[in-house]
Structure 1
């Protein structure tokens, strides 16, 4: 009799847990709809000081070649849509060589655009200078990014960008890293330096996106990035042509990347900003950096 009563209690407890989990999933689904709607309706005029001259939020993707920048763009566009039809907007492939050679832009909304910048095999001085040129909007959208190896060519490229200066984009840097890779001591120092200079150029600590979340121990990689000064680290599994069935957890993770970027924008717009002056400061940084290398 006691054993039978115990089994009934266990069954009731199991049903209670199932009920709680079901309720949790329903609430999470509601949260996703609210989060998606918040992103889709985002406006630069929402703050007390308005847009202050900015017209667009530019989510700038950086990282080593083949780490999932293009896949992140495809995933973001997919989760913001309401259908189950996956489309590959940015050409993506799991390779160490990477496919992106041109600095391409992919609108998520009328206000938010993601930029797929050319990845690099290693962040040496000259490649890093080109990365900063992309970050500072000194290389036009749609232009092929070539790794220059001399001072004159770099200075000429920056001066050329002044023919049609772009100062109305609010730049948010995002660094994508594949958790299946192991960072060497040299790479750690390179990434740390890149993060520090992102703050100098944009006022924002780069958002770290760890791709291939379930393929390795991402917690160890996350720890390494936090020790480098990262404030936000989000691990995700991208949607692909081969794996595109929408799930609650995967969709939430990807939406959170966009949401935290917009929170950074709102935070920075709480204080007076001058887009033209900030572009001048980015240009000074580029000149100083090029002189140093």
Structure 2
């Protein structure tokens, strides 16, 4: 598919194209997520750049390659009247509570523009869920897009953890995350693509983002960026061929998140009890060691 066809597919996309119509959805939300510094903000700038047919590169989303990342809150950027791309805050590691925060972002339970803070307990996430009920948003069709820096290989011991994370994102949204490998020209991304395929990924696309220092448009780079958006829309079209209930799906996302929070809370409570028991056992051993022999 050439660039013109890809652009036409994106610009002319309609939620009413299928036999069942929009079924209550009003827009497609491309939810970017992943680790900090893996190119989410740069990808947004690249998408805007290739779709707007402009020669001047504009940095809509602040993008800096730092361990902490630049994005501290959920920011939305319209690509067309029906397609919005969201820059969610990246996480440093896939810790349990950070995952809960990511799921809350993916599930649209944190309002656009709200600051995202990584917290060490479940209570704040629960509060976000309660606050989200004041203005429930169930009309966005969510497509998860997982951004990953191709220069950072996934260790074998981490694969099962990442696989579970991606499967949970599919449970949340009904769409398996599209995997976008960034910095493709600076790494051997083919082995990484194979790893994601083994985790169940259906779509893996390696790209090189446009940046202020590298913004001369090329055929290959532009095509690959457009292919990510087009792949997301093909997922939407496929899912819209089946009967959908946006209100019910939002409820199911909330159930999933509540259950996840409950499970990690139990897990941490068990760990706490086990640690306390080990400490007591250690102290007991120390005391018996110090007792004089009579």
TM-score (norm 2): 0.88
User: Does structure 2 conserve the Cα–Cα contact (< 8 Å) formed by 1:123 and 1:187?
Assistant: no
- Determine the structure 1 residue equivalent to 2:255: 284
Does residue 65 of the first structure (1) align with residue 39 of the second (2)?
Answer: no
User: For residue 144 of structure 1, what is the aligned residue in structure 2?
Assistant: 115
Matched, 1:235 2:206: yes
Please give the alpha-carbon distance, in whole angstroms, between the structure 2 residues aligned to 1:236 and 1:210.
Answer: 6
8 Å Cα contact 1:122/1:187 also seen in 2? no
Aligned residues: 264
Q: TM-score normalized by structure 1? A: 0.88
- Call closer, same or farther: CA 1:282–1:145 in 2, change over 3 Å: same
Q: Which residue of 2 aligns with 1:250?
A: 221
Helix, strand or coil at the partner of 1:115 = strand
C-alpha distance in 2 between matches for 1:241 and 1:65: 20
Is the deviation greater in 263-272 or in 76-85? 76-85
Deviation (angstroms), 1:279: 0.2
The Cα offsets for residues 131-174 of structure 1, whole Å up to 9 and x where unpaired, read as 00000000000000011222322211111110000000000000
Alpha-carbon RMSD: 1.0
SS of equivalent residue, structure 2 residue 216: coil
1:90-140 deviation digits (Å, cap 9, x = unpaired): 000122221100100010001000000000000110000000000000000
1:184 & 1:122 partners in 2: Cα distance?
13
Pairing 1:205-216 to 2, within 5 Å after superposition: 205-216=176-187
Listed one character per residue, the Cα deviations across residues 229-251 of structure 1 (whole Å, up to 9, x for unaligned) are 10000000000000000000000
Q: Which of 127, 147, 154 is equivalent to 1:156? A: 127
